[in-house]
Structure 1
Amino acid sequence: MPAPTASSANAEAPVTADRPLDTNVSSTDANKGIAAMATAFNTPPFAADNVQNLFGDMRDRAKTSMEKGAKVAEELGEFAKGNVEAFMTSGRVAAKGVETLGQEAVDYGKKSFESASNAVKGFAAAKSPTELFQLQSDYARSSFDAMVAEGSRVTEAWVKLAGEVMQPLSTRLAVAAEKVKAPTIG
Structure 2
Amino acid sequence: MTETFTKIEDTAKKFAADAEARTTAVFGDMNARAKTAMEKGAKSFEDAAEFNKGNLEAVVASARVAAKGFEEIAKYTAEYGRSTVEKANATAKKFAAVKSPTEFFALQNEIAKTSIDSLVAEGAKFSENYLKLLGEIAKPLSSRYAVAAEKVKTAVAA
**2:16 pairs with one of 30, 44, 51:** 44
Alignment correspondent of 2:83: 111
Structure 2: give runs of 5+ residues left out of the alignment: 1-11
**2:99 pairs with one of 123, 127, 135:** 127
Alignment correspondent of 1:174: 146
Please identify which structure carries the higher helix content. Answer: 2
Alignment correspondent of 2:124: 152
Greater relative contact order structure (CA < 8 Å, 6+ sep):
2
104-113 vs 124-133, which moves further: 124-133
Alignment correspondent of 2:48: 76
Contact 1:68 1:185 in 2 (8 A): no
RMSD: 1.8
> Normalised by the size of structure 1, how large is the TM-score?
0.73
Q: Deviations over 1:24-71 (max 9, x none)?
A: xxxxxxxxxxxxxxxxx9762222122122111111110011101111
Structure 1: give runs of 5+ residues left out of the alignment: 1-40
TM-aligned CA deviation for residue 99 of structure 1: 1.1
2:155 aligns to what SS in structure 1? coil
**1:63 pairs with one of 35, 40, 45:** 35
Alignment correspondent of 2:60: 88
Distance 1:167 1:78 in 2: 19
Q: Deviations over 1:50-105 (max 9, x none)?
A: 21221111111100111011111110111111111111111111111111111101
Distance 1:92 1:103 in 2: 17
Q: Match of 2:40, as an amino acid? A: K
Distance 2:157 2:87 in 1: 67
**2:25 pairs with one of 42, 53, 74:** 53
Alignment correspondent of 1:102: 74
TM-aligned CA deviation for residue 184 of structure 1: 8.2
Q: Match of 1:149, as an amino acid? A: A
TM-aligned CA deviation for residue 127 of structure 1: 2.1
Tell which structure's C-alpha radius of gyration is larger: 1
Q: Match of 2:62, as an amino acid? A: S
Contact 1:87 1:168 in 2 (8 A): yes
- How many pairs align? 146
Contact 1:126 1:132 in 2 (8 A): yes
Q: Match of 2:152, as an amino acid? A: V
Give runs of ≥4 in structure 1 deviating > 4 Å. none
